[in-house]
Structure 1
Amino acid sequence: MKFELYVALRYLKAKRKQAVISVITVISILGVTAGVMALIVALAISTGFREDLQSKLLRGTAHINVMNIQVLDGIANYPELVAKIKAVDGVRSALPTIYQNVLLSSGRQTPAILKGIAVDDPTFFSDGFFTIRQGNIRELITNPDDPVRDKIAIGDEMAQRLGTFVG
């Protein structure tokens, strides 16, 4: 018989006058078991929450942003850089973007960071980049003859803050 098993059985099967030790041992084992179970459940929930949050965040934003140190200058020859990035294995899409701090208003005002994307790239409309609840992302494409050229897509929370809707 292994030593660990011998010691465990000795304290679990105590004699009559040592019955208190046996009860305390069982309570201790149950307490440790419950603690370990709670820890395993908490870690599983935490891991699942982290993976879910990470997938949602990465779906809505770029995994990598390439920017010029001189922010106002932009990136010279960006079409060649975009082509090089698209050529890398595993890259699903690479799009030139512009970021600008803005103040949006529609009855109410709220600060935001505007992200301008060139929508003429076919990968812009590929599955998985957007979760659209109302409207159609393809409606953002403007024609030169279109009288309404200022179109924007905003998130749910921003729409609620501004009190806006599609159209």
Structure 2
Amino acid sequence: MVPYFERFIAFRYLGSKRKEGLISVIAWFSLIGIALGVATLIIVMSVMNGFRAELLTRILGLNGHITVYDRRAPIKDFNQLALRIGEIPSVLYVTPQIQGQAMIMIDGKATGVLIRGLDPLIMQNKSLISKNIVVGKLKEFGSGADVVIGKRLADRIGVTPGDKVLLISPTSSTTAFGNMPRIKAFKVAAVFNVGMYEYDSTFAYLPLRQAQLFFKSGDTVNALEVEIKNPAKVEVVRETLEKNTF
């Protein structure tokens, strides 16, 4: 409740004597102007906070808060390493994956893509993708040489689920005829649309084992994505990771 003194001052200057009617009008216009200004500021701040939250949800829905790399070589025994990292307080889960660049091609149409190889179960648990499948079924992912791509990428090269596409690795293979580009056919299992141009136009997901075969990485990965419970503690987790050699 507003104290008496504050109420007295407010009504004293909002009201006016009969001879000073204009002052009351000016005071009320000033009050309305201030109220509208504050309301506009609150609305804009709410919209921006909502936009920030939505943007973070979409970005972190496909990327971890921290990504662990080994500068010297691919990561061996990644499952055990993921378990050890997962024991750090504040760590929610750890995702082993293979990241690499390739060319996707069909009927002479080709474009560059960013390949991510994930375990099929982890892929199905990525809600940002599983809840935004527009064509196809994610449950078929992992049953064979499958690939899941973004809608803008699918529209660009003109493919739908069931179509066969060629993935061409930038790393060549040595054959009897010399160095040849590494090419493998994959079936489009599903198409997702997360609403962010970068992801919908460049990302392609493979089952982890298929990605290992495609990049000839053996039983290794080249990245571990770490998701933490509270993003505000990302620096604490990062420092813990840097202090431990595992």
Structures share fold, TM-score greater than 0.5: yes
Given that residues 97 and 117 in structure 1 are in contact (C-alpha distance below 8 angstroms), is that contact kept between their aligned partners in structure 2?
Answer: yes
Query: What SS class does the counterpart of residue 116 from structure 1 fall into?
Result: strand
Given that residues 68 and 75 in structure 1 are in contact (C-alpha distance below 8 angstroms), is that contact kept between their aligned partners in structure 2?
Answer: yes
- For structure 1, the residue ranges without an aligned partner over 5 or more in a row are 144-148
Tell me what 2:77 maps to.
77
Between the two proteins, the alignment pairs up a number of residues equal to 156
String of CA shifts for 1:62-100, please: whole Å, max 9, x gaps: 333211234xx2224323212213445665543321111
Query: What SS class does the counterpart of residue 68 from structure 2 fall into?
Result: coil
Tell me what 2:99 maps to.
99
Larger radius of gyration: 1
TM-aligned CA deviation for residue 29 of structure 1: 0.2
Task: Tell me the distance in 1 between the aligned counterparts of 2:47 and 2:41.
Answer: 10
String of CA shifts for 1:110-158, please: whole Å, max 9, x gaps: 2221112233xx4443363632222222323245xxxxx3x21111222
- For structure 2, the residue ranges without an aligned partner over 5 or more in a row are 163-246
Task: Tell me the distance in 2 between the aligned counterparts of 1:117 and 1:43.
Answer: 38
- Whose RCO is larger (CA < 8 A, sep 6+)? 2
Task: Tell me the distance in 2 between the aligned counterparts of 1:123 and 1:114.
Answer: 16
Task: Tell me the distance in 1 between the aligned counterparts of 2:126 and 2:99.
Answer: 23
Among 66, 69, 75, the residue aligned to 1:67: 69
Query: What SS class does the counterpart of residue 166 from structure 1 fall into?
Result: coil
Among 126, 149, 153, the residue aligned to 1:154: 149
Kindly tell me: are residues 108 and 77 of structure 1, through their superposed partners in 2, closer, same or farther at Cα, counting changes over 3 Å?
same
Q: Counting strand residues as a fraction of each chain, which structure ranks higher?
A: 2
Among 19, 24, 27, the residue aligned to 1:25: 27
Cα RMSD (Å): 2.5
Runs of 4+ in 1 over 3 A off after TM superposition: 4-7, 86-93, 122-127
Kindly tell me: are residues 123 and 152 of structure 1, through their superposed partners in 2, closer, same or farther at Cα, counting changes over 3 Å?
closer
Task: Tell me the distance in 2 between the aligned counterparts of 1:55 and 1:38.
Answer: 26
Task: Tell me the distance in 2 between the aligned counterparts of 1:142 and 1:16.
Answer: 86
Q: Does 1:8 align with 2:10?
A: yes
Tell me what 1:130 maps to.
129
